[in-house]
A and B are shown apart, each in its own frame.
Chain A
């Protein structure tokens, strides 16, 4: 490890760039290079290219023409695109609020009551949606939510026959139905993350609380929730991003329909780029979406940091 290159670092011919880099740091850099290379190639370069494309009118193959900010003007004036962005924010309720709330309760129940085999089984069952390929899951959900599907059978059985409908084909309910699929996908992941966080809490705290006669609720409020604050921030971040940049769940279940009732920016970017072949507007929408995600995520980070200090 030490043999190569070491003398050259200190000679006068050292490139100016590396002059301040000590040898051990150079080795460190060498370790980083492969990952950094992939990161530059598959994350930074597409990002920069998207930014560049967003100023052109381009079909992906032919000659591009510079259009300045026209594509951004389209993004902010097209009612259909604004509606898509609005839908993404509605999805936060299903992708983020419900999984994190329910996940927190579930995790603390599993931690407290379901040790041993039952705990393992419930963890596995909850995590299963992460393992099943989403395309297969999408087909399954199409059946479950169909006119003659499981959901409607249950509703009819309990006497709610008149509210049954083809959930994914209903203008008022399709987005909520897609949201339910999102809950199913994300709940297990969130529960598992929070459970891991809870396992790091000192059991002595719970014991002390119980000796002092604290109720389950105050245990949950004063020990569990503060103990997993960082995990909560991670969960919120992941799920809010999942909601705002949703694509796969919607692509396979409704493809944006009926009408544009479940159209979201992620899907619209795909349609613009690959169906309408309008790479410029697609890129502009992608950049706007990225900024929206950042603007939404940053306050969550700050919230955690503030309560840390």
Chain B
């Protein structure tokens, strides 16, 4: 009996340990190297930035052909752009159907690398962090399509933020994403409240802005409505960046966002901006509970008339037009300089229908019906060709003002990319917690910039 028991136990133990051993053996190779596909491990730059190599793979003017094609699209849940564009496209090209999947922005950003590295990646995806994806060889080089569709002859500023070079720095090199509807961030204002504090035209200097904020505070109004809760990300990055552009040179900010070697945000000019932001915080120009305010709360409270100003982007136009029709104005600060970057979509390197995907994206820029959708949904000029029509929007709506401001920014070459987008973790790991600490008086403006610069260096 005892022997039988002990033998049984041995057998069980053997079974168990064998199972365990199998798992350990199975997991023994280095994780990345197990990847079944070569593109992930091959140096992607050498492969994808060679225009001649890929150019041959593209037909003279690629399109969707006549055979049935199904395009898979992975987009941001709150954006209606892809659902509406795809429906219109199927009307015009009945052989093309779509399978749309979406996630909230933060989840989509987290899932995308794994989706793109899988064997059946979405053909077109919304991607905000381009560099890491490009380093892993997950993005299709769009240069051949740029040549085929004549994007080369269009205004090139719109492509600056989606170009990436051999060293994986943005700003020059090959086009790896489709930037549409460059959204403009600036200052929205409540026209009634602005009139109340005697604002007749948008402030042009920091001093003028200061004076208006002080008047608003004295009048018992909430001078600026903003969000800064971790769940939404630090919204104070918007006023900070606008102040940085007011004190310093916005092209220096772009160099920093594009990870240009030797770029720094820790300069005397930008420090002045951070100090001014701290001054605004201490003066009570932001809501006292700003660290607990989420994006949707801030947008909603501004819409209910709480706040003379709010720093936000034109994607919120729809909400403001509904909440305060005809009563919201918009200006960029400083004048004709604004945080403005296209909403970027990428084609997967492993896409099964790259030509049709590219044709669809080009169509979305050039087709008149598509451009109407772009403006209606995106609230911004779609970009694209210089002669592209910009559909008319209702006079007096805030969209009319953001469109005009966006055009002025472009004419001035005043577009700058978001400081939150420099590296994939800098917004959550540096800007957001540190801006909250600045509100709470736990760090100095000097530390804010020093920490951001350190994170910029270590997280590339």
Q: Report if B421 contacts A (CB, 8 A).
A: no
Residues of B within 8 A of A61 (CB): 32, 35, 40, 113-114, 116-117, 136, 138
Whether A147 lies near B292 (C-beta < 8 A) is: yes
Whether B433 lies near A259 (C-beta < 8 A) is: yes
Q: Report if A71 contacts B (CB, 8 A).
A: no
User: A48-B23, A61-B114, A63-B41 are known contacts. Are A166 and B428 too (CB-CB below 8 A)?
Assistant: no
Q: Report if B150 contacts A (CB, 8 A).
A: no
A21 closest partner in B (C-beta): B11
Q: Report if A66 contacts B (CB, 8 A).
A: yes
Q: How far is the CA of A36 from the CA of B7 in the complex (A)?
A: 21
Query: Chain B, interface size: which category?
Result: 35 or more
Residues of A within 8 A of B20 (CB): 44, 48
Question: Smallest CB–CB gap between B319 and chain A, Å?
Answer: 18
Whether B23 lies near A40 (C-beta < 8 A) is: yes
A143 closest partner in B (C-beta): B297
Whether B440 lies near A20 (C-beta < 8 A) is: no
User: A48-B23, A165-B289 are known contacts. Are A62 and B41 too (CB-CB below 8 A)?
Assistant: yes
Whether B429 lies near A275 (C-beta < 8 A) is: yes
Whether A62 lies near B136 (C-beta < 8 A) is: yes
Bitwise interface map of B from 21 to 39 toward A, beta carbon under 8 Å scored 1, else 0: 0011011101111010000
Tell me the B359-394 residues at the A interface (CB within 8 Å).
none
Tell me the B82-120 residues at the A interface (CB within 8 Å).
109-110, 113-114, 116-117
Q: Report if A257 contacts B (CB, 8 A).
A: yes
Q: How far is the CA of A253 from the CA of B292 in the complex (A)?
A: 10
Residues of B within 8 A of A66 (CB): 30
Q: Report if B15 contacts A (CB, 8 A).
A: yes
Whether A257 lies near B11 (C-beta < 8 A) is: no
A18 closest partner in B (C-beta): B11
Residues of A within 8 A of B11 (CB): 17-21
Residues of A within 8 A of B125 (CB): none
Q: How far is the CA of A271 from the CA of B230 in the complex (A)?
A: 12
Q: Report if A86 contacts B (CB, 8 A).
A: no
Question: Smallest CB–CB gap between B144 and chain A, Å?
Answer: 24
Q: Report if A206 contacts B (CB, 8 A).
A: no
Q: How far is the CA of A276 from the CA of B423 in the complex (A)?
A: 9
Whether B442 lies near A259 (C-beta < 8 A) is: yes
Bitwise interface map of B from 427 to 442 toward A, beta carbon under 8 Å scored 1, else 0: 0110011101101101
Q: Report if B459 contacts A (CB, 8 A).
A: yes
Residues of A within 8 A of B136 (CB): 59, 61-62
Whether B288 lies near A260 (C-beta < 8 A) is: no
Q: How far is the CA of A147 from the CA of B424 in the complex (A)?
A: 32
Q: Report if A297 contacts B (CB, 8 A).
A: no
User: A40-B19, A275-B424 are known contacts. Are A63 and B32 too (CB-CB below 8 A)?
Assistant: yes
Tell me the B280-295 residues at the A interface (CB within 8 Å).
287-294
Q: Report if B10 contacts A (CB, 8 A).
A: yes
Q: Report if A254 contacts B (CB, 8 A).
A: yes
Q: How far is the CA of A257 from the CA of B229 in the complex (A)?
A: 7
Q: How far is the CA of A146 from the CA of B294 in the complex (A)?
A: 11
Whether B27 lies near A48 (C-beta < 8 A) is: yes
Question: Smallest CB–CB gap between B388 and chain A, Å?
Answer: 36
Whether B23 lies near A171 (C-beta < 8 A) is: no
Tell me the B410-460 residues at the A interface (CB within 8 Å).
424-425, 428-429, 432-434, 436-437, 439-440, 442, 459
A253 closest partner in B (C-beta): B231
Bitwise interface map of A from 183 to 195 toward B, beta carbon under 8 Å scored 1, else 0: 0000000000000
Residues of A within 8 A of B110 (CB): 274-275
Residues of B within 8 A of A271 (CB): 425, 428-429
Tell me the A9-49 residues at the B interface (CB within 8 Å).
17-22, 25, 29, 40, 44-45, 48-49
Q: How far is the CA of A53 from the CA of B117 in the complex (A)?
A: 18
Whether B23 lies near A255 (C-beta < 8 A) is: no
Q: Report if B18 contacts A (CB, 8 A).
A: yes
Given A22-B8, A45-B27, A253-B231, 17 additional A-B pairs, CB 8 A:
A17-B18, A20-B8, A40-B19, A40-B23, A58-B32, A59-B136, A61-B35, A61-B40, A61-B136, A66-B30, A169-B293, A256-B230, A257-B229, A258-B439, A260-B433, A274-B110, A275-B425
The 4 closest A-B CB pairs, nearest first, are A169-B292, A257-B230, A166-B289, A20-B7
A residues sitting closer than 8 Å to B (CB atoms) are 17-22, 25, 29, 40, 44-45, 48-49, 52-53, 56, 58-66, 142, 145-147, 165-171, 252-260, 271, 274-277, 279
A and B contact pairs by CB, cutoff 8 A, 15 listed: A17-B14, A17-B15, A52-B28, A60-B114, A63-B33, A64-B31, A147-B287, A147-B289, A166-B291, A166-B292, A166-B293, A169-B228, A254-B230, A256-B433, A258-B433
